[in-house]
């Protein structure tokens, strides 16, 4: 089938943030985030020979592509079209409204059904092996982007706290701070934003805690300083500004599933065959492209993740 889609060409000088010319070591140092010793120990990005790890590059300035060959969206696109209801329901206003968000110091409390509960400072989390991953992000609303993330596999953190045998789910809680988050003064949502995964989904190698993108620490509109990224699920699962991670026995309540259970399931796997009650999920608009492209089952990550759902009816467990 012929694809009549064009990515709007922009000179690479415009899409390359200046920090691409700094190595990751330099920018972490510049931000004063990690000691030199910790940098040498852990913070150099590791490339792995995997289909998703195409190497965003922090120095070369080339446009990264995903494993399907599609170019990453520009830094400007990724940071100026954001769902972040704590700031606004207007995607184009989030950048401006989040400009003064205070993302340091930051700590994440990891607890619940684990043998070694621990509160991690941001600096501790940056010591987990940081990897570059170019992932598609497909919003349930029908638009998508390709984003070159930096982050660490959530399984590294979960293994360290030693989940108990009774743990079956992972619950994520975002910051509650109506002083900083004007959206949290709205009574229409059960703040703070919460999300959840089954433990095996959380342990999957594709599941990341993102700490940066395009070689910069995570920009405020994208969930600074830390957000979840689960690339085969609709974007709302990828909770921003995480302050607590909790292992549970029961499936946790989540914000969107609580607000509209028939529209937003717990699983929320990207699936062109399962329509949202108010719109089709067959196609999507890639930001920066003209027209729409077909949506892929599991957002194109089926080879890696379909096994997690063997024997499940994806229409029932939507």
**Binding region for ligand MTE (CB under 6 A):** 82-86, 137, 139, 174, 193, 221-222, 235-236, 238-241
User: What's the min distance (Å) between Cβ of 240 and ligand MTE?
Assistant: 4
Number of Cα atoms under 13 Å in the Cβ half of residue 218? 30
User: What's the min distance (Å) between Cβ of 184 and ligand MTE?
Assistant: 10
> Which residue's CB is nearer to ligand MTE, number 158 or number 268?
268
User: What's the min distance (Å) between Cβ of 238 and Mo ion?
Assistant: 8
> Which residue's CB is nearer to ligand MTE, number 163 or number 192?
192
Rg for the chain, CA atoms, rounded: 19
User: What's the min distance (Å) between Cβ of 235 and ligand MTE?
Assistant: 3
Alpha helices in the chain (DSSP H): 12-15, 24-30, 36-38, 75-80, 94-97, 122-125, 154-161, 199-203, 255-259, 302-305
What is d(CA 166, CA 179) in angstroms, rounded to the nearest whole number?
A: 37
> Which residue's CB is nearer to ligand MTE, number 134 or number 241?
241
From the centroid of its chain, how far is CA 12? 25
Beta carbons within 10 angstroms of residue 176's beta carbon:
14
Give the SS3 label for residue 200: helix
> Which residue's CB is nearer to ligand MTE, number 34 or number 202?
202
> Which residue's CB is nearer to ligand MTE, number 212 or number 221?
221
> x/- contact string, 183-222, with Mo ion (CB under 5 A)?
----------------------------------------
Of all residues in this chain, which one has the CB nearest to ligand MTE in the complex?
A: 235
Report the alpha-carbon angle 191-94-137, nearest 5.
85
> Which residue's CB is nearer to ligand MTE, number 58 or number 83?
83
Interface pick for Mo ion out of 235, 252, 265, 300 (rule CB under 5 A) = 235
Interface pick for Mo ion out of 128, 193, 236, 256 (rule CB under 5 A) = 236
What is d(CA 287, CA 141) in angstroms, rounded to the nearest whole number?
A: 12
User: What's the min distance (Å) between Cβ of 276 and ligand MTE?
Assistant: 13
Report the alpha-carbon angle 223-227-231, nearest 5.
115
Contacting residues for 76 by C-beta, under 8 A, at least 6 apart: 15
Count, residues near Mo ion per rule CB under 5 A: 4
Q: Which residues bind Mo ion (CB under 5 A)?
A: 83, 139, 235-236
């Amino acid at each position: 089938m012929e694809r009549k889609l064009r990515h709007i060409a922009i000179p690479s000088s415009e899409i390359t943030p200046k920090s691409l010319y700094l190595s990751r070591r330099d920018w972490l140092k510049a931000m004063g985030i990690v000691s030199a010793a910790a940098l040498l120990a852990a913070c150099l990005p590791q490339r792995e020979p995997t289909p998703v790890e195409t190497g965003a590059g922090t120095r070369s300035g080339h446009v990264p592509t995903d494993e399907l060959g599609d170019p990453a969206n520009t830094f400007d696109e990724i940071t100026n079209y954001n769902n972040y209801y704590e700031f606004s329901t207007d995607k184009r206003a989030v950048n401006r409204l989040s400009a003064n968000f205070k993302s340091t110091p930051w700590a994440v409390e990891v607890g619940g059904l684990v043998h070694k509960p621990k509160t991690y400072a941001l600096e501790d989390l940056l010591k987990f092996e940081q990897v570059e991953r170019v992932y598609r992000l497909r919003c349930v609303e029908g638009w998508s982007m390709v984003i070159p993330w930096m982050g660490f596999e959530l399984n590294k953190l979960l293994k360290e706290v030693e989940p108990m045998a009774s743990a079956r789910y992972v619950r994520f809680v975002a910051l509650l701070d109506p002083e900083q988050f004007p959206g949290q003064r709205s009574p229409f949502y059960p703040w703070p934003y919460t999300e959840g995964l089954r433990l095996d989904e959380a342990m999957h190698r594709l599941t990341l805690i993102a700490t940066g993108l395009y070689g910069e620490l995570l920009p405020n509109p994208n969930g600074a300083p830390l957000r979840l990224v689960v690339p085969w699920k609709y974007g709302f699962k990828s909770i921003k500004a995480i302050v607590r991670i909790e292992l549970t026995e029961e499936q946790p309540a989540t914000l969107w599933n609580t607000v509209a259970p028939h529209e937003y399931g717990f699983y929320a796997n990207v699936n062109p065959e399962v329509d949202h009650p108010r719109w089709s999920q067959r196609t999507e608009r890639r930001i920066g492209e003209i027209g729409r492209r077909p949506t892929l089952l599991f957002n194109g990550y089926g080879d890696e993740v379909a096994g997690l759902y063997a024997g499940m009816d994806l229409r029932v467990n939507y």
